[in-house]
Amino acid sequence: MAENASSSRSLVILFVSLHTFVWIASTFIILTVVLSRNVQRQSTWFNLNLSWIFACFSFALLLTAGQLFKPQPNGSICLAQAAASTSVPSLTSGATLAFALHLWFNMRSSSHLDRLELRRATLRNIALLVVPYIIPLVEFVAAFAYGIQHPNQVVLDSTGMLCGLTTDVFAKLSAISVSVIMFMTLIFESWIIYMIYLSWRSKSINSPIRGTAGLATVIRLIAFTVFTIVGIGASLTFLTTKGADAASANLLQSIPPASFVFIFGFQWDIIRVWMFWRKDTQMSSDASIEGISRSPSPVMEVKVDLVRTTSYPREEQVKVLEV
């Protein structure tokens, strides 16, 4: 019995530690990109990082608020976490889909946009930033309102990892929506990889998949796809696990955010900014050796027009999509 209690406590510590690490690391990464003039990222990359900060902060709320391991956590904090835990999975999955769609649209777009096309692209990008918050907001308000009306159903779950609602309706609806969104994301990611593969097979001198930069592109895209599959598995696991298996399901959901930080957060251009003891001239020299002008380690270099064969001036042929 004592061994089971010790094992359960260790799992709780691991769960909250992983989520605390992710939201703190993601915060530092975003601040680094915002404050550094040598690092650039797409708007949907920022949005995806923010979604993981919101999600992981919510899952680690008991630790942050000093309520961890208390048999009866503060009612307000418990209610806030219960409502957030049913809504943030939809937020992170929606932001991931928007991130993939942004890459897909950029790979298919032309550098020559007339005023109407530019306006459409601007509205589309705004939608990619705003739409992922709609469903989670509805889910949060609904769960929060339900918790206020039924305070006796807001409890610390059997794993001791986080607060939740005794009814599983909200969790199952969230898991279903997340699974659908992540399957859509997987489709677009596979499409992107296929487009890059076609570009690589063309062996064009302007192909985005060349040398180590091209290899890094493919590796990160494949890793991102695996990351998406894990997210789907975590969501589906929620539909079928109960009791003791719930702890394993919770830990499974900790894998995607941690993977995201290591795959898309700890990149050389960001790490170099943290190397404050290195002189700017030395860092610039390193970047020149790698053949990259602005951002020392972009995840993806994509030819502006991968589909059509329109010729553009050399400086307009390549667009760096920082992810």
Q: Give me the helices (H) in the chain, please.
A: 2-35, 43-59, 61-64, 75-108, 115-130, 134-149, 169-202, 211-240, 245-252, 255-260, 268-274, 280-290, 314-317
Low-confidence residues of the chain: pLDDT under 70: 1-7, 109-114, 202-218, 221, 228, 231-245, 279-323
**CATH number of the domain encompassing residue 258:** 1.20.1070.10
Beta bridge partners of 241: none
Structural domain boundaries enclosing 200: 2-321
pLDDT at 236: 63
Q: Are 182 and 235 in contact (CB under 8 A)?
A: yes
pLDDT at 78: 94
Residue with token string 């995806």: 48
> Taking Cα atoms as reference points, which of 79, 258, 62 lies closest to residue 159?
62
Instruction: Please give the radius of gyration of the chain, using alpha carbons only, rounded to the nearest integer.
Output: 22
Number of domains in the chain: 1
pLDDT at 63: 92
Q: How many CA atoms lie within 13 A of 74 on its CB side?
A: 12
pLDDT at 27: 94
> Taking Cα atoms as reference points, which of 155, 187, 181 lies closest to residue 168?
155
By CB atoms closer than 10 A (0-12, 13-18, 19+), residue 73 is buried
Averaged pLDDT score across all residues of the chain: 76
